[in-house]
Structure 1
Amino acid sequence: MQIQRRGQDHHDWSLYKGEGQVGVEWYFRHTTDLPTSVMLYHLEPGAEEGEHFHLEGDPGSCSVVSEDELYLVVSGEVVVTVGDERAVLRSGDAVYVPEGVPHGAKNESDLPAELVLLFGPPDGNPLRGK
């Protein structure tokens, strides 16, 4: 049985020229065979993941492969931008970001926020469209 406890793969990173540090837990980064990667973000008030996108072959991309991404807020509140749209997400809310679309998240509230991020190849969901 593989179990990963909180703190076993924790990093505090400045991401994509965003303000402050984002606490990042990366789950089973080196051991999973799933096509989707999983992270837990912890954002203190004012912290943000700067705007970025994932598109193979584009020199402005933050990754060398194309990836779709899903953000799920588990506590607190964040403001997300996806393309030209901006929305407030609270606990239980999620946003889906297709490959190549600029996006980012910021905690503009007075309380910490946590989000689960799922990201992987855009063709990874066998149930899509069914």
Structure 2
Amino acid sequence: MLLQRRGDDHHDWSLYRGRAPVGVEWYFRERTELPTSVMLYHLEPGAEEGSHLHLTGDPASCSELSEDELYLVVAGEVVMTVDGEQAVLRSGDAVYVPHGVAHGVRNDSGAPAELVLLFGPPGGNPFTTD
């Protein structure tokens, strides 16, 4: 059984010129065969993941790969900015960010917030219908 407990791969990272570090727990970073990576973000009041994007070949990209991302708030409240548009997200709210779109999250509240972050290459969802 592959098991990872909270704290097994924890880092406090300053991300993309954000105001304060984000606590990041990266789940099965070097073991998963899934096309999606999973992180748990912990943002203390004032913590921020600065604006960034993921697009292959774009010099402004923070990664070499084009990746879509999904942010799911599991506790607290955050402000999410996507392509210049801001929204307040609370527990149970989620935002989907396609590759190549600038985005970032910050905690302007007075309490800690936690988010599950899923990211990976665009590739199609078998449940999507057009």
Letter in 2 for 1:73: V
Identity %: 75
Instruction: After TM superposition, list the pairs within 5 Å mapping 1:22-101 onto structure 2.
Output: 22-101=22-101
For residues 32-69 of structure 1, what are the alpha-carbon distances to aligned partners after superposition, in whole Å with 9 as ceiling and x for unaligned?
00000000000000000000000001011000000000
How large is the Cα RMSD of the aligned pairs?
Answer: 0.9
Q: Residue 129 of structure 1: CA displacement?
A: 2.5
CA distance in 1, matches of 2:15, 2:126: 31
Q: When the two structures are aligned, how many residues end up with a matched partner?
A: 130
Letter in 1 for 2:28: F
CA distance in 2, matches of 1:122, 1:55: 11
**Structure 1 ranges of 4+ moved more than 6 A:** none
Return 5+ residue gaps in structure 2 as ranges.
none
SS of equivalent residue, structure 1 residue 24: strand
CA distance in 2, matches of 1:51, 1:28: 25
CA distance in 2, matches of 1:128, 1:68: 15
Q: Is the 8 A contact 1:35 1:124 kept in 2?
A: no
